[in-house]
Amino acid sequence: AQNSQEFLKCEYCDGIVSTDLNELMFHCKSCDGVTRPDASHRYVCYTCEYHTHDSSKMKRHLRIHARKKPFKCLYCIYSTKIKGSLKLHLQLKHKMLANHV
């Protein structure tokens, strides 16, 4: 683990937020500077107009901004932001069966 941590600026409240995914998620859910489209959309992106009620969709969206690719292939250098994309990669490129992925 590294001691230096990266930070981002929230476009809505000008707050400084850690790039840690859990901290970003908390901020996107609790930022007071943003007007939510409706009560069901609990998560609003800190830097664009994306909003959702689904935490897994919000995490996937935040990885786009953070450019993090946590799902890595064990057989080559491929990595992706989306778990389903890794499964598809394994099936197509490494001929893995769907039920073995």
What is the spatial distance between Cα 101 and Cα 78, in angstroms, rounded to a whole number?
Answer: 15
pLDDT digits (tens, 9 = 90+) for 61-99: 998 877 777 888 999 988 887 788 899 999 999 988 766
Non-local CB neighbours of 87 within 8 Å, separated by 6+ positions: 98, 101
- The pTM for the full model equals 0.60
pLDDT digits (tens, 9 = 90+) for 30-64: 999 988 878 888 999 988 889 999 999 999 899 88
Non-local CB neighbours of 97 within 8 Å, separated by 6+ positions: 91
Neighbours of 95 (CB within 10 A): 7
Coil, strand or helix at 2: coil
What is the spatial distance between Cα 41 and Cα 29, in angstroms, rounded to a whole number?
Answer: 9
